[in-house]
Every structure is written in C-alpha cells, then in structure tokens.
Structure 1
C-alpha cells in the first residue's frame, strides 16, 4: 500500500523536511485489525500532548480522519503516523508559517513467535542509558537514537527485548515496550517524568487496573525491585503483553496477574 503525505499517495519526502534534519516531530505506531485502528484515542491523546509540548500546530480532526481512512484501506497491519513540524531551510529555527506534514505508512503485522506470549521472553541487559530530559519525557518523538544503539547491542534470538535504565541506574522501560512488575498483589511501573516513552498500552493497562481494583503504583524502579518481583511483563500497542521469564540470572514464571492483564490487552487490541 502506498504511503500518504498530507493525505495524498506519495513515495518521497522533501529534502528540507525537519524530520530529516533534526528529528523534529512525533510518531505513533498503531495496530490495525479489520480496518480499525486499535487504541486510537490513546494514540491521539499522546500525539496531542506531544504537539502541545513541542508547539506543533496540528489539525487533530484532519489527522483522525486520515488515520481512519488509511486504516480502512490497510485492513490488517501496522500503521505508522509521522507528524513533522514542516519543511525549512538550514538552521534550528522553524520557518515562519511552516505547515506540519502528516506521513502515513503501512506494513504487515509482525509475525512474533507464539512462545513470546505463551512462555515469556528473556530481556537483554542494555548498556545504553537513557538521558534525562523532562520536557521530552513520555513523548514518542522522532529522536530515537538511544533505542537504536540499545537494540544494536544484541543480535541473538534468545533475547526478544532489552531492559533500559536511565543515567542514574533506575529501570525505565524496554527498548520498544513498557515494563510492569508484580509485587504480591501490587502492580508497579516506572515513573516516566524524566525520560522514557509513555506507551499507549501502558496507559490503557493503568486504566484497566484501576477499573479492576488492582493496586498500582507508578514509581522509581531499581534493580532491587526487579529482583524482588513475583511477576514481570512488558507491553506495547502492537503485540499486547508478553510475560518476562528471565533477565540475567533472574527467572519468573508467567503469573496470574500477568495472564489477566494479557487477556485484557488482547481484548483492547481486538476491539
């Protein structure tokens, strides 16, 4: 399926795009099933937050319409929405009146091994650390070099994901997922006010936990918290929830709370 730029089929971008020069923009990776974009409201809410933080004047109604039309044409797959501040000449300062550009791309749903969801995954201990920048914390902005470097640290099939910490050693997230720990009956996930991506599946599961009466705490996480966890899982908006079965010398069985939230995530993606 052709990519769209500003609602028109296209296969090239302007060389003056601020996305190429500076990574000046945001993106959303949206699962599409039967022509419907999953978790759309969560994606659009995060995009709107990013636009406010970065002062990008985007037309939210137009974006919604284009995403829905593109998803309908895609059928089943992954829709990537890239929102760029616009085009400009050399220099950090945006051109006056530069219009944001909307890029939509489609690809097939990834064929992850079934055992990732059934038996759990092993996390790679990434050396690459996340820098702290509260202004950008939580956003899905286009500057993802930390994740690129972290993902390049392993090439084996044994590790399906990597664990990333910040420069102070706090546990933050996976390379392309968010992390949850279970301590007894309490669910823990990382405080993302300094760095990290606030995933839409993470947001949905936090809401679902509150509805289901599951105690949840958003807090700074340490390696000691990980060592003391009874269950561990990762999540994102494409595959839902994967139990974590191992990290370094630590091992966990897929537990009952993980399985409950995994089922909830599956329902959310299929809705």
Structure 2
C-alpha cells in the first residue's frame, strides 16, 4: 500500500491493537478473513464502503447493521475503523482487513509459543508446492470446489502442522485474491515474521545446514542487520558450494555458481 492507504492502514491497526487483546485471536482472524472475502465478492458494497465522499459514520453504521452478531466484537470494531478510513483504491480496504487477519493469526501462534513453527511450516509448504505440479494444480484449479480443496489440505496437513498454519494456508487456497499460491505464502510469512519485527532470510545451500550452522548464521545476520532474523534453508544441489542468503531484495551470494557468474559479468563488462 502507498500514500493515503498506508496511513489509513496504520490508523486501523491502532484500533485493531486496542480491541484484539481481549478477543479469541483465532476467531478474530477467521472473521476478518470472512469480511475481506465478503468485500471481494460484493463489488458494489466494497465501492460504497470505500467511497470517500460518503460520511464515515454512515459507512460504519452500514457495517454494523450487516455484521453485528455475526462476527466477534473486535472484528466488527476493526471493520468499522476500516470503512471510516480513506483508501487510495477500493481494493485496499479488503487488503487491510485480510492483512490484519494474518496479524491476528500470528498473534495467536505467538501466544501459543508456535510462531517459529508457523514460519517454518509456511516456508516448507511453499517448497512442497513448488516441487509438485500435481499438488499445485489441485490447490489452484479455479473450477475445483472450495470444500474439496479444504478437505485436501486437512488430509495433507491435519495434525502435522500448527492450527495457525492450517488456517493461513486454507485461507490462501480458498481465497487467493488474484495472487499465486507461492506469492501468497511469501506475503503471509512476511506478516507472521513481523509479529516479532523479524526479517526473513531464505538461505540456498547445496546441503542441509546443521543446527549449529544455522545458529551461527542467524547470529551473524542478526549482528549485520541489527534485527532478529528468521532463517529458512532451501537445499539446492545446483549451488555447488557455499550458500546464498536473500533478505527482501538483497542477496548475499557466496556460492561457487555466484562467483562464476560474477567473473563472467566482469569479463563481459
């Protein structure tokens, strides 16, 4: 989000933080996802509720009339704050509510001391999807029934992952909102990491790193960036030697392949 929408998101997040503390965070996440999905389906409603020319109190009244008794009070208060705010584009309204749904789910995981598990599981599931075209087709087929996809995820993941992980992946599969599954998983992982204001580092290595190696690498990255860093390791035999680290748009490449490519660039230059 940019400009006006970014400022509005910050204001809505303040309201969300004020009401989320006493809520059932799992239910709050589900309700915020449901409201975002409703706005995605009902284009006329979304346009009306994001129309800056309409009085904010009137829009909040419409939301309360629609949702009172159907969602938890914290979700209703957050939705009211969202429609009272002004957005650069109408889609940003639904985006904001979805994002706060992810934040609520991450807060639930942190309260249950499962935040690290959720980060790891989102990353690993992304790698599984990337490596299985059959699974990806089954989960992203627009013609396939939503309940069938939900059941497939329950069968695949079930008790093997944290409840928050299953909730987030199911939301992405059921309501991709124009994103690829891989992009959605990366976006959710970033929001989950922000729950503790951590960076996410994706490490590519020819072999699996030992726990001691991961600990040392994490410590080095924490010192280098001045912030906590969550490390996800992707084993890639093409690396040949060394490893590469991607944090956002920045890449630290110590691989043999990376060095060869650097020599080639210099020769070509």
- TM-score normalized by structure 1? 0.28
Q: Highest Rg: 1 or 2?
A: 2
Structure whose residues are more often helix by fraction: 2
Structure whose residues are more often strand by fraction: 1
